[in-house]
């Protein structure tokens, strides 16, 4: 199964697609969710990760968002993920920043909705906990742990990519937990 | 020429499409922008106004935004506006509210961008000033003035519709000003 993590920004959108081992393999590993490094070994692999560039500030907002819709649609059609994972709203940002990020999120969500892809939202602290072991880990620690969990030679870069991979890892962890516990929903649903 | 005003919300999106008289007629009225009631008489008429309903809270966020994309796309294809007018970010809302409204805005903007429709953004105080004569007018005063300016029998309802018509009126006023002054840009561009 494939899970696409997305980190929507106003100029660049990071993404990271993970393939998860089948349910049987997941069940075997399911009891060891505390030791996430183990998952990297056999549980999941990076299918593709990168950034979508929205054309820079020289473009109108509407043109950038149109570009995002086109690129995200093409990405979803190419990678065919069953699930999409996003970070929930963060506190501590300005209203203006939230509006801008919301615009990019909305476009991503609409493209996912168009294809019937399930969307899961995770609080930032939850992502940090899942990847780096505690909810106050800094971005560097998250990037380094994402590298180890996914058995990559180098840290995913830029930060938009490691953030997208981190939220995808969080969904994979939740999925293993659901499978191990018989389907209790461990992700949060946005309203 | 047609201008579509849009008021994006999380469950309902208001819209109001105005047809503006041609450039010649606009030029004649252009010098009298202070007296907006005059525009209503001969300058613009309502082509269509209403709300798009996004399916209620029982639907996933992604499904609601997908529904918005589909309905907004169909609306733009049917009404064929040359321009779209939106209110800019408002202060005084929460980060969470801004994120949610941003999501709907993003979908609307991407659909406009897909069709090459020019988008104009206006600050809330500017909309109030254009429609009701001063930047601190309340929503009732805006709705009542929109009714008069557009020579409607009743106030546009619900509020989402009168807000959408108000921002369309603001764009028409700016357009008349541009025409009268030879093209100086009177709308604000979002970055």
- Residue A62: list chain B partners with CB under 8 A: 84, 109-110, 112-113, 117, 119
**Residue B16 Cα to chain centre, angstroms:** 6
Q: What angle do CA A104, A121, B67 make, to 5 degrees?
A: 55
Q: What is the pLDDT of residue A37?
A: 40
Q: What is the pLDDT of residue B183?
A: 63
The chain B residue lying nearest A115, using CA atoms, is: B66
Closest partner residue to A96 (CB to CB) among B89, B114, B119 is: B89
3-state secondary structure chain B: CEEEEEECCCCEEEEEEEEECCHHHHHHHHCCCCCCHHHHHHCEEEEEEEEEECCCCCCCHHHHHHHHHHHHHHHHHHHCCCEEEEECCCCCCCHHHHHHHHHHHHHHHHHHHHCCCEEEEECHHHHHHHHHCCCCCCHHHHHHHHHHHCCCCCCCCCHHHHHHHHHHHHHHHHHHHHHHHCCCCCCECCC
Q: What is the pLDDT of residue A136?
A: 87
Contact B110 A65 (CB under 8 A): yes
Mean pLDDT of A93-106: 90
Q: What is the pLDDT of residue B39?
A: 47
Looking at CATH, the fold of the domain delimited by B2-181 is given as: Nucleotidyltransferase; domain 5 (3.30.420)
Instruction: Look at B29 and A96; give whichever has higher pLDDT.
Output: A96
Looking at residue A2, the DSSP 8-state letter turns out to be E
Identify whether B190 is a catalytic site residue: no
Instruction: Look at B4 and A190; give whichever has higher pLDDT.
Output: B4
Identify whether B140 is a catalytic site residue: no
Distance CA A190, CA B57 (A): 10
Q: What is the pLDDT of residue A25?
A: 47
pLDDT in tens, A15-52: 999 999 765 444 454 444 433 344 444 488 999 999 99
Which among A43, A32, A60 is positioned nearest to A3, based on CA atoms? A43
* pTM score: 0.85
Q: pLDDT in tens for each of the 191 residues of chain B?
A: 999 999 999 899 999 999 997 654 444 544 444 333 444 445 889 999 999 999 888 899 999 999 999 999 999 999 999 999 999 866 667 888 889 999 999 999 999 999 999 999 999 999 999 999 888 888 899 999 999 999 999 999 999 999 999 999 999 999 888 878 876 555 555 43
The chain A residue lying nearest B91, using CA atoms, is: A95
Active-site amino acid positions of A? 7, 87, 160
Q: How many CB pairs under 8 A join A and B?
A: 120
Q: What is the pLDDT of residue B57?
A: 83
Contact A99 B109 (CB under 8 A): no
Asked whether the beta carbons of A96 and B89 are under 8 A apart, the reply is yes
- Residue A191: list chain B partners with CB under 8 A: 57, 61
Q: What is the pLDDT of residue A35?
A: 37
Question: How confident is the prediction for chain A on average, in pLDDT?
Answer: 85
ipTM of the predicted structure? Answer: 0.83
Q: What is the pLDDT of residue B6?
A: 98
Which residues of chain B have a Cβ shorter than 8 Å from any chain A Cβ?
Answer: 57, 60-69, 84, 89, 91, 93-96, 98-107, 109-110, 112-114, 117, 119, 189-191
Contact A102 B99 (CB under 8 A): yes
Contact B62 A109 (CB under 8 A): yes
Q: Which of B65, B86, B88, B110 to mutate to probe the A interface, most A CBs <10 Å?
A: B110
Distance CA B126, CA B164 (A): 14
Closest partner residue to B68 (CB to CB) among A61, A95, A110 is: A110
Neighbours of B189 (CB within 10 A): 10
Confidence band of A147 (pLDDT split at 50, 70, 90): very high
Q: What is the pLDDT of residue B81?
A: 98
Q: What is the pLDDT of residue B135?
A: 86
The chain A residue lying nearest B68, using CA atoms, is: A110
Residue given tokens 């064929």 in the structure block: B80
């Amino acid at each position: 199964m494939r899970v696409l993590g997305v980190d929507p920004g106003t100029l660049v959108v990071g993404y990271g697609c993970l393939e998860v081992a089948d349910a049987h393999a997941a069940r075997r590993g399911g009891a060891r969710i505390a030791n996430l490094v183990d998952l990297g070994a056999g549980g999941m692999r990076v299918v593709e990760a990168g950034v979508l560039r929205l054309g820079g500030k020289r473009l109108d907002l509407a043109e950038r968002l149109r570009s995002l819709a086109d690129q995200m649609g093409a990405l979803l059609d190419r990678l065919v993920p069953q699930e999409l994972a996003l970070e929930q709203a963060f506190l501590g940002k300005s209203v203006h920043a939230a509006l801008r990020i919301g615009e990019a999120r909305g476009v991503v969500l609409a493209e996912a909705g168009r294809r019937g892809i399930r969307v899961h939202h995770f609080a930032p602290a939850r992502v940090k906990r899942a990847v780096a072991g505690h909810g106050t880990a800094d971005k560097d620690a998250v990037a380094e742990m994402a590298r180890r969990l996914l058995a990559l030679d180098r840290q995913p870069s830029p930060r938009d990519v490691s953030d997208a991979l981190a939220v995808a890892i969080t969904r994979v962890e939740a999925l293993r937990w659901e499978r191990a516990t018989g389907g209790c929903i461990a992700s949060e649903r946005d309203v």
